[in-house]
Amino acid sequence: MRNAPAAHETEQCEMLTLVTPSDADSAPGTASPDDRRAVAAILAGDERAFEELVDRYNPSLLRVARGYVSNRTAAEEAVQDTWIGVLRGLPSFEGRSSLRTWIFRILVNQAITRGVRESRSVPFSSLGDDEAAVDPERFLPGGAWATPPRPLEAVPEEVLLSAEARARVLEAIAELPAQQRQVITLRDVEGWSSAEVREALDLSEGNQRVLLHRARSKVRARLEDYVNEAAA
């Protein structure tokens, strides 16, 4: 029965974004002129240039690290180790990827190492092939919707854009399995392109698509619950 509703899932799970995402098909590219200037400044001893880099990426690094380790303290330590790795690695930075992607690859390696020590880390290959993106109970035996999703286009904009709706979305993201949380955080919270996420997290295109689809489906279900509550 699971194959029957798959098309419905794809149609109904609209993109749930908190920022405008980058072009999903764009390549991650190489280091930009700004990247190269930042690297040159840091290597020349410009402490302010390094502080600006930390200010720009630290919150995002912390969000991603939380998916690999058991608590915020361990995530902060992974991020701190990442910045140490950045300083050590900058002299050999060749610009074959953007500086942001390069930094996040260091973070992922650091967080995985720390997560393995805690026996918390789960390989990205474990996608849960039997996991349904949408609760099977929402479908009839023939595959049609028993309780179809409420079209979000019909929901008043002030409801969808409210602080409460945003809080529900972020809460739902925080409760996702680690791999799904990492992908949806970079795509829909940070606004990364598909190619950037694949490179930073070392994912295949298919794995990233599955993880993102399942994450968005679950977040959409939580948002739908909120919308129904608001309309009651």
Q: What is the pLDDT of residue 113?
A: 82
What are the structure tokens assigned to 30, written together? 């190489």
What are the structure tokens assigned to 158, written together? 């002030």
Radius of gyration of the chain (CA): 20
- In this structure, whether the domain defined by 33-117 belongs to CATH 1.10.533.10 is answered with no
Q: What is the pLDDT of residue 99?
A: 93
Size of the chain, expressed as the number of residues it contains: 232
DSSP state of 133: S
Q: How many CB atoms lie within 10 A of CB 90?
A: 17
CB 161 within 8 A of CB 18: no
Query: Is the pLDDT at 6 greater than 70, yes or no?
Result: no
Annotated domain spans of the chain: 33-117, 124-231
* Tokens 């991020």 sit on residue: 79
CB 103 within 8 A of CB 82: yes
* CATH fold group of domain 124-231: Arc Repressor Mutant, subunit A (1.10.10)
Per-residue pLDDT band for 54 (boundaries 50, 70, 90) equals very high
Q: How many CB atoms lie within 10 A of CB 182?
A: 26
What are the structure tokens assigned to 102, written together? 């390069």
pLDDT one-digit tens code per residue, 9-51? 333 344 445 554 554 444 557 889 999 999 999 999 999 999 9
Q: What percent of the chain shows pLDDT beyond 90?
A: 29
Query: Is the pLDDT at 3 greater than 50, yes or no?
Result: no
Q: What is the pLDDT of residue 117?
A: 67
Q: What is the pLDDT of residue 124?
A: 47
Report the pLDDT averaged over residues 182-198. 88
Q: pTM of the predicted model, to two decimals?
A: 0.66
- Distance separating alpha carbons of residues 159 and 171, to the nearest angstrom: 17
* Tokens 């790795």 sit on residue: 85
- Distance separating alpha carbons of residues 81 and 73, to the nearest angstrom: 12
Q: What percent of the chain shows pLDDT beyond 70?
A: 65
